[in-house]
């Protein structure tokens, strides 16, 4: 099993550009989530999903959209990039629907917005 | 007040030392507790869950104190390979289906 995969690993955007961060898992997990990690802030939840077609907002959802058309994929879209979105983005998945079990993380995407 | 608070460190200890980290959480309704380990520029990985009765895994011991709302991680006989950031993770019980991560405590084990 590949586990949780994320692409790209690195990305540089200009302010106002849009892009999609890809996330896929092959463990048949229902629960998937996106976090951002900034220095001194810990991981903060952006959006999460408890199954195909079901998504909900986390702690810091503004400026981001998600969709979940399949169990495997959970892409994160930046609508109009801003320097404040410079961060490391982690996708995670877990068994069950409650999102409180062991989280399996992808390797992360390092995003810089100029 | 942050929902989950940790001392950022760094904790610099010699090989073989015993080191302990604490983490406090704000919501008394919190139900699930974990310690994750994150190596530099890598993703977090589960180190151990924290149960009400405490639990031990080799050199690592985790304990929960509900009355004072903190969890602890004790590492005995520190190895160079233990150098990492240790994240305290809590389900804070607000109904949101997610975990809340502390900002981490950095440990540097020195030869």
Residue whose pair of structure tokens reads 């982690």 in the numeric block: A90
* pLDDT tens digits, one per residue of A73-111: 999 999 999 999 999 999 999 987 677 778 999 999 999
Tens of each residue's pLDDT in chain B, 111 residues? 778 999 999 999 999 999 999 999 998 888 889 999 999 999 999 999 998 888 999 999 999 999 999 999 999 999 999 999 999 999 876 556 678 899 999 999 999
Q: Which residue bears the tokens 């160079």?
A: B80
For residues B10 and A113, what is the distance between their CA atoms, to the nearest angstrom?
29
Query: A-chain residues within 8 Å CB-CB of B36?
Result: 103
3-class secondary structure per residue, B10-33: CEEEECCCCEEEEEEECCCCCCEE
List CB contacts (< 8 A) between A98 and chain B: 97
Q: What is the pLDDT of residues A24-45, one digit of tens each?
A: 999 999 999 999 999 878 899 9
Look at A50 and B46 and tell me if their CB atoms are within 8 Å: no
Can you tell me the distance from the alpha carbon of B72 to that of B88, in angstroms, rounded to the nearest whole number? 9
């Amino acid at each position: 099993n590949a586990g949780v995969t994320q692409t790209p690993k690195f990305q540089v955007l200009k302010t106002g550009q849009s892009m999609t961060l890809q996330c896929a898992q092959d463990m048949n997990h229902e629960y998937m989530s996106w976090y951002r990690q900034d220095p001194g802030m810990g991981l903060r939840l952006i959006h999460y999903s408890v199954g195909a077609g079901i998504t909900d907002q986390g702690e810091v959802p503004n400026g981001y959209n998600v969709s979940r058309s399949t169990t495997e994929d959970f892409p994160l879209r930046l609508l109009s990039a801003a320097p404040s979105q410079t961060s490391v983005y982690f996708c995670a998945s877990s068994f069950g629907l409650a999102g409180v079990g062991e989280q399996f993380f992808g390797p992360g995407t390092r995003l810089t917005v100029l | 007040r942050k929902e989950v608070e940790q001392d950022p460190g760094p904790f610099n200890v010699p090989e073989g030392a015993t080191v302990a980290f604490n983490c406090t959480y704000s919501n008394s309704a919190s139900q699930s507790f974990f310690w994750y380990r994150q190596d530099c520029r890598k993703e977090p990985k589960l180190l151990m869950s924290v149960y009400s009765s405490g639990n031990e895994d080799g050199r690592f011991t985790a304990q929960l104190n509900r009355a004072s709302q903190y969890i602890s991680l004790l590492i005995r006989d520190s190895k160079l390979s233990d150098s990492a950031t240790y994240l305290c993770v809590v389900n804070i019980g607000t109904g949101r289906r997610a975990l809340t991560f502390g900002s981490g405590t950095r440990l540097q084990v020195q030869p």
